[in-house]
Amino acid sequence: MRRASVSKAPLITPASTIAEVWQHPLGNDVLATILRQLGRSPAWVTNPFVSSIRLRSLPRLSFGRVSEAFVETIVRMLNNHRDIPARVVAEAPAQWWQSAVFYQIYPRSFMDSDGDGVGDIPGIISKLDYLQDLGVDALWLSPIYDSPNDDNGYDIRDYREIMREFGTMADVERLIDELHARGMRLVMDLVVNHTSDEHEWFQRALADAESPYRDYYFFREGATAPNNWTSFFSGSAWRRFDEEWALHLFSSKQMDLNWDHEPMRREVHDMVRWWLGKGVDGFRLDVINYISKDPGLPEGDPLIGALMGYTGVEHYFAGPHLHEYLHEMRTEAFDPFEAVSIGETPGVGSNLGKLLTSPDRGELDMIFSFDHLETPGHTRFDDYHYDLGYLRDWWQNWQLDYGATCWPTLFFENHDNPRMISKINPDPALRVALGKLLAVIQLTLRGTPFIYQGQELGLVNVAFTSIDQLRDVESINLYRELRASGESDTAVFAKVLAGSRDHSRTPMPWDSSPHGGFTTGTPWLDGDGDFANVNVADASVDPSSVLNAYRELIALRRTHRALTLGGIRFLPAATGLWCWERERDGERIRIEVNLTDAPISVPVVSGSHLFASGENGGRLGAYGARVTLVS
Ligand code: TEU
């Protein structure tokens, strides 16, 4: 894939003004992220006074709260990403993954075939007819490789072996064949920012200071931790081994790989080609924007650390060689197989996202950006009601700006986030309406929808009552850290419960039998019995279920290409309402959704109703939605 020449943003220097940083693509992303974390509007930085401030004046004007080092970091980071994303590239040829509906499976919790309480590959195979009937085109499996499961498979011990609890390589090969026989595809999870500490590479590096594997990781000597970086899973990002330290941005058993070391990169390319040679159709790439770290692993800025919640993140969320390594991996491993690449890119905004996915860049095909999942000033662990008006504003901008050049992903849930319905409005009476509203939004905006297992049923958060019920390393570590700081169990558990990833990791409810038909054994993680209320078997035969809404809407995508590859334009709408039209080859489809829990008058538009939820003549009920073929 060739790389087009692109224009570049002006060099940033300490003499640059805030206005010049705001004009810089990555500078705009960074400032927008900071403003969102602060819950502030752009006017905070675009007003005449602030916008005229030079970067070098910030330490003096902030009485040292903004350090000289931070100014140097910002200058270096922005100059590492000076390319200006192409506004609109010539229409790239349509790709299969643009029209496809993806379904993410968390294998541990999807279907257990052998009664050990853990989901497995044969269990997934037994449910392919269900997925095909739903209308799914491609699966994304969270990691199935051999792992000690410190982070449920995101700590890989052997990239070429299958986790024992999940089954065998023969099972995986059967899954690939069964999917392809159905015209479906398989995307696997590529976790190459780090490996398990039990991976052979790390074990050999640890055992021998002269090992060729030493440079596969970040080892540093010294009596104290090499820098102040913190882990996403609490505590320091450094683990001590005898006289040295090793870097781990995540759990203390997830050791960061050194992507500056070419032999390590070559091993990753080989492994990717090995899996693609088996018929895998592509990869979701775990925290792939973290792979390039700033040289010397500099100290993290305390102010940024306090703001972002993690110290040091400015030194790796978009490192100096990120584009180079992504382009190399695409050229060496993905392009020869025409495999799809979907980057998980926490913290990446619209402009950097364009540099990662614009078709002429030859880096990634799509990214998961998470900025829409929390409203300004909130984190996942804040217990608050999510405002769908924020989703409208944020996604509308992404659809028009980022979508003009690149292909968006559309998702509300995954294995790292609580259930979206509960975030918005936990009122059980509104669960179905909200579930259908989210389906309409996700399946009719422009981009590729990723449905997370159970979302199609309208699952909600789990009524956990004790930390002892949780299994997620992030939740457990956060609980311990907050309790150690003196907070009460009640206060700490409430905070952890608000954002625990375990909410979306309980067993998939197939029917109302014990454990929802997920296992005949004891589930590795237990739910709260909600399977008695909501499960696949009951929803399948209920015409008004969320599940049947997903089936109907996915079927609409298949019969109306305006809903997949069609253009999009947003219509003026009354407060609380969100309206857009999709158009292709003369076919125009209007979507009207009520983002509030109160009825709204919406005059009936002439045309034929393709889908309606909570609609009564000229009114849309709470979270109602209407899809109309207007021409
Ligand atoms: O997630 C990275 C990520 O962005 C979230 O885990 C987030 O950083 C974290 O929840 C702190 O808010 C990927 C995987 O999706 C996740 O399951 C893994 O735990 C993580 O990377 C490490 O591999």
- Which two structure tokens, joined as six digits, stand for 478? 């956060």
**Closest protein CA for atom 10 of ligand 1:** 416
Pocket probe for ligand 1: among 286, 371, 503, the residue whose CB has the most ligand atoms within 8 Å is: 286
Ligand 1 pocket check for 250: Cβ under 6 Å: yes
Q: Could you count the other beta carbons within 10 Å of the beta carbon of residue 98?
A: 18
**Closest protein CA for atom 12 of ligand 1:** 232
Rounded distance, CA 138 to CA 281, Å?
9
Ligand 1 pocket check for 287: Cβ under 6 Å: yes
- Which two structure tokens, joined as six digits, stand for 269? 């390319």
Convert the pLDDT of each residue in 320-373 to its tens digit. Answer: 999 999 999 999 999 999 999 999 999 999 999 999 999 889 999 999 999 999
Rounded distance, CA 624 to CA 433, Å?
7
Ligand 1 pocket check for 154: Cβ under 6 Å: yes
Ligand 1 pocket check for 374: Cβ under 6 Å: no
Report the chain's mean pLDDT, rounded to a whole number: 96
The band of 2, judged by pLDDT with boundaries at 50, 70 and 90, is very low
Counting atoms of ligand 1 from 1, which one is nearest the CA of 415? 17
Rounded distance, CA 395 to CA 93, Å?
24
Ligand 1 pocket check for 623: Cβ under 6 Å: no
Ligand 1 pocket check for 416: Cβ under 6 Å: yes
Q: Are 263 and 257 in contact (CB under 8 A)?
A: no
- Which two structure tokens, joined as six digits, stand for 520? 């005949």
DSSP, collapsed to helix, strand or coil, labels residue 214 as helix
Q: What is the DSSP letter of 24?
A: S
Query: Residue 1 has what pLDDT?
Result: 43
The band of 442, judged by pLDDT with boundaries at 50, 70 and 90, is very high
DSSP, collapsed to helix, strand or coil, labels residue 488 as coil
Please compute the mean of the pLDDT values over residues 589-617 and round it to a whole number.
95
The band of 493, judged by pLDDT with boundaries at 50, 70 and 90, is very high
Question: Greater confidence, 360 or 470?
Answer: 470
Q: 């640059």: which residue's tokens?
A: 16
**Closest protein CA for atom 1 of ligand 1:** 287
Ligand 1 pocket check for 474: Cβ under 6 Å: yes
**342 Cα to the center of ligand 1, angstroms:** 15
Counting atoms of ligand 1 from 1, which one is nearest the CA of 232? 11
Pocket probe for ligand 1: among 142, 145, 154, 283, the residue whose CB has the most ligand atoms within 8 Å is: 154
Ligand 1 pocket check for 438: Cβ under 6 Å: no
Please compute the mean of the pLDDT values over residues 122-128 and round it to a whole number.
98
**6 Cα to the center of ligand 1, angstroms:** 32
**Closest protein CA for atom 5 of ligand 1:** 416
Q: Could you count the other beta carbons within 10 Å of the beta carbon of residue 416?
A: 20
Across the chain, how many H-helices and E-strands are there?
22, 21
Q: 């090992």: which residue's tokens?
A: 211
Torsion of CA 194, 25, 361, 329, to 10 degrees: -10
Rounded distance, CA 18 to CA 4, Å?
29
**Closest protein CA for atom 6 of ligand 1:** 416
Q: Name the least confident of 29-33, 248-252, 293-297, 579-583.
A: 29-33
Ligand 1 pocket check for 472: Cβ under 6 Å: no
Rounded distance, CA 416 to CA 189, Å?
14
Ligand 1 pocket check for 470: Cβ under 6 Å: no
Please compute the mean of the pLDDT values over residues 243-272 and round it to a whole number.
98
Q: Are 257 and 195 in contact (CB under 8 A)?
A: yes
Ligand 1 pocket check for 371: Cβ under 6 Å: no
- Which two structure tokens, joined as six digits, stand for 262? 């070419």
Ligand 1 pocket check for 232: Cβ under 6 Å: yes
**259 Cα to the center of ligand 1, angstroms:** 19
Query: Residue 5 has what pLDDT?
Result: 52
User: How far, in Å, are 121, 148, 185, 274 from residue 144 at the CA level?
Assistant: 9, 11, 16, 15
Convert the pLDDT of each residue in 146-176 to its tens digit. Answer: 999 999 999 999 999 999 999 999 999 999 9
The band of 280, judged by pLDDT with boundaries at 50, 70 and 90, is very high
Query: Residue 39 has what pLDDT?
Result: 84
**Closest protein CA for atom 23 of ligand 1:** 154
Which amino acid makes up residue 584? R
**249 Cα to the center of ligand 1, angstroms:** 10
Ligand 1 pocket check for 191: Cβ under 6 Å: yes
Rounded distance, CA 417 to CA 406, Å?
25
**225 Cα to the center of ligand 1, angstroms:** 23
For the whole prediction, is pTM greater than 0.75? yes
φ, ψ dihedrals at 161, nearest 5°: -125, 155
- Give, in degrees to the nearest 5, the angle at Cα 611 between 610 and 617: 100
Query: Residue 406 has what pLDDT?
Result: 94
The band of 3, judged by pLDDT with boundaries at 50, 70 and 90, is low
Query: Residue 6 has what pLDDT?
Result: 67
Percentage of the chain modeled with pLDDT above 70:
99
Q: Are 626 and 591 in contact (CB under 8 A)?
A: yes
**Closest protein CA for atom 18 of ligand 1:** 154
**416 Cα to the center of ligand 1, angstroms:** 6
Residues 6+ apart with CB under 8 A from 502: 462, 464, 469, 470, 471, 472, 475, 525
Does the pLDDT at position 274 exceed 60? yes
The span from the first CA to the last CA of the chain, in angstroms, equals 38
Pairing mode of beta strands 185-190, 282-285: parallel
Rounded distance, CA 545 to CA 550, Å?
9
Counting atoms of ligand 1 from 1, which one is nearest the CA of 473? 19
**Closest protein CA for atom 16 of ligand 1:** 416
Pocket probe for ligand 1: among 105, 250, 284, the residue whose CB has the most ligand atoms within 8 Å is: 250
Where in the sequence numbering do the catalytic residues fall? 286, 344
